[in-house]
Amino acid sequence: MKHYSDYELTRWNTFGIALKANEVVILEQDEDFIGFASQSGCYPGPFFILGGGSNVLFCADFPGTIVKIANRGMEVVSREKEGVLLRVSAGEAWETVIDFCLEHGFGGLENLTMIPGQAGSAAVQNIGAYGVEAGNVIEKVEVVDMESGSIAQIFAADCHFGYRSSIFKDEKYGKKLIRNVYFRLSTHPRVNTSYGVVKTSLSAQHIAHPEIRDVVEIIRRIREEKLPDPVKLGNAGSFFKNPVVSGARYASLQVQFPGIPGYPLADGAVKLAAGWLIEAAGWKGYRAGDAGVYPLQALVLVNYGNATGSDILHLSEQIRASIQHKFGVMLEREVLVLP
């Protein structure tokens, strides 16, 4: 366990915002999690648990203690006829997990390639893309209680995975340190190609019977074409969640805006495309100073170099107000904002 004071956080947030934390504790080994929990009273609050920094917007220097999750490693802990149980350290880079699964032929996560962040964050956020969510294949999450240091395993049914949400983002936020995530993966995978652009791209490549590698390569190509690399241009991926409205409300919106896309859900509600709403309201490619909306994907807000967190936040609030005024729909941020 490492500890630093007055620590620079610029490289620890994908927006590339220049700021510092009062204290930083880095948990690199599994035993560090228990050690920190037993000593947490020695560090100034508030605490913020930081993974890859790919879903957070810092608007000022952090006054308390950043707990950086940095343990690494993957291990197949059991094998069955049709699959494996893979234990992944919470601090493992997500794309490393994807590469490991690709190398070993483990199916279930291939649609989630190129989502920045770490394995622990995948459980917190229940990351999703192209018709798949991490919660679909998470079997359980190993946590360490921040106060007692006790270890527990929370099974998927009790994680309350929802659209970009889980108990770790809600009632257990800041109370549990995710140490390991267990994924139940298939060794005889049936890939999910139901998402329109994936299906179309595979067809264009004349791939009639896609395998894991085909899906990974297609999705990586799609994401490279439409999303900015945070190493080159500061961003946190999708800034807003796709809003959900009632079926009746969607029908009303269709009358006003005939081209508005909607994706019916099992309960009768309809999910709207936040990116479409933002583009239709004229924000795509907008720039104010160094804060802007990415020209190729309106759902992504970017830092062109020297934007502050407050600059990005202000832009996001302007967009939310605009969408509320035009469509009567309030966008919810996917990115966590720390004022």
Q: What angle do CA 262, 263, 269 make, to 5 degrees?
A: 95
Active-site annotation holds for 164: yes
Active-site annotation holds for 11: no
Phi, psi for residue 169 in degrees, rounded to 5? -100, -15
Report the b/e string of 210-234 with b at 16+ CB within 10 A: bebebbbbbbeebbeeebbebeebb
Choosing from 23, 110, 133, 334, the catalytic residue is: 334
Choosing from 23, 89, 133, 164, the catalytic residue is: 164
Tokens of 334: 């996917």
Which helix (H) or strand (E) covers residue 292, if one does?
A: strand 291-293
Which helix (H) or strand (E) covers residue 274, if one does?
A: helix 274-280
Contact between 263 and 194 (Cβ < 8 Å): no
CA-CA-CA-CA dihedral for 40, 41, 46, 47, to nearest 10:
0
Choosing from 121, 238, 316, 333, the catalytic residue is: 238
312/184 Cα distance (integer angstroms)? 38
Active-site annotation holds for 322: no
Point out the residues that are catalytic.
164, 238, 334
